[in-house]
Amino acid sequence: MDVKYCVTVKADNIDSLRKKVNAALSKNPSLIEIQAEQLIRSNIDHLRRVLAHVLDKSIISLRSFNMKREANNRYLSYISRLIEMQPAYIELEHSYILSHLNLIDKSFENNVLIIASHYDREKTPDSDILGRLALKMLKHADIIRIVTRANSFEDNIKVLGVYDILHDERDRIIAYATGEIGVISRLDSVKLGAPFIYVSVNNNNKDEPGQLSIDEARRYFALFP
């Protein structure tokens, strides 16, 4: 089965980022997700140089939190500078995009594709609720990422139900549940049309509960020629 793998990289300083990016590259993934919120105080030009050789296969992701107004202004400027680096994708929370629609134009001008994300860390809503949310998100992004929390096996069916509701948009949707119970939704999302799967470089660097390493995912999908 032909699967694209995106290795997640998270670092709190440039030196650590360089090492982790090189470790990710050693696994020959299709994409590398750079979680960049902890690098907000880094020199942007230094960051650009470190990522120059992987920008064409990078997803730079940011997850906004409750910030004071001053911090929000700095955060917005930081996002704009990251977009100007021209990674393959920029991932932003959908709620943040709705508050800063100018970032859509900014991304388009720099030939950067947008991934709009939504996270529910406590539960998995019913499929129809997630379907309506996905439809809204698709209006503002090239790809959407919906991540919920699996508290029961049924939650896998709920989150994967989005692919059935929006059948014609399957290749623009990445929807899965976190937690060990949610592992099956990560794998089945690809079978249902997700453009790629988020994985870790190894078992010691998992970003979310239930995330598979790239080696584990490859061994699994190798069973499906």
Structure tokens at 90: 């920029």
Kindly state whether residues 30 and 68 are assigned to the same domain.
Answer: yes
Q: What's the average model confidence in pLDDT over 113-129?
A: 97
Kindly state whether residues 101 and 31 are assigned to the same domain.
Answer: yes
Kindly state whether residues 106 and 85 are assigned to the same domain.
Answer: yes
Kindly state whether residues 77 and 179 are assigned to the same domain.
Answer: no
Q: At what angle do helices 183-191 and 153-165 cross, to 10 degrees?
A: 20
Kindly state whether residues 173 and 86 are assigned to the same domain.
Answer: no
What does the angle CA 61 – CA 168 – CA 214 come to, to the nearest 5 degrees? 40
Q: Is 148 helix (H, G, I), strand (E, B) or coil?
A: strand
Kindly state whether residues 7 and 61 are assigned to the same domain.
Answer: yes
Q: Domains in the chain: how many in total? A: 2
Give tens-digit pLDDT for 52-92: 999 999 999 998 654 444 467 788 899 999 999 999 999 99
Kindly state whether residues 7 and 86 are assigned to the same domain.
Answer: yes
CA atoms within 13 A of residue 193's CA, in its CB half-sphere = 17
Kindly state whether residues 142 and 224 are assigned to the same domain.
Answer: no
CATH number assigned to the domain comprising residue 64: 3.20.20.70
Evaluate whether 62 touches 87 at the Cβ level (below 8 Å): no
Structure tokens at 93: 């929370």
- Structural domain boundaries, residue 7: 1-116+196-225
CA distance 225 to 212: 20
| Furthest C-alpha separation in the chain | 52
Question: What stretches of 131-182 adopt beta strand conformation (E)?
Answer: 143-149, 173-178
CA distance 116 to 10: 19
For residue 205, what are the β-bridge partners? none
Kindly state whether residues 212 and 187 are assigned to the same domain.
Answer: no
Q: At what angle do helices 69-84 and 102-109 cross, to 10 degrees?
A: 20
Name every residue whose Cβ is closer than 8 Å to that of residue 224 and which is 6 or more positions away in sequence: 1, 191
Kindly state whether residues 41 and 145 are assigned to the same domain.
Answer: no
Q: Is 218 helix (H, G, I), strand (E, B) or coil?
A: helix
Residue 211 in this model has a pLDDT that exceeds 70: yes
Kindly state whether residues 110 and 209 are assigned to the same domain.
Answer: yes
pLDDT at 65: 54
Q: What's the average model confidence in pLDDT over 115-124?
A: 97
Question: DSSP letter at 82?
Answer: H
Give tens-digit pLDDT for 14-48: 999 999 999 999 999 999 999 998 888 788 999 99
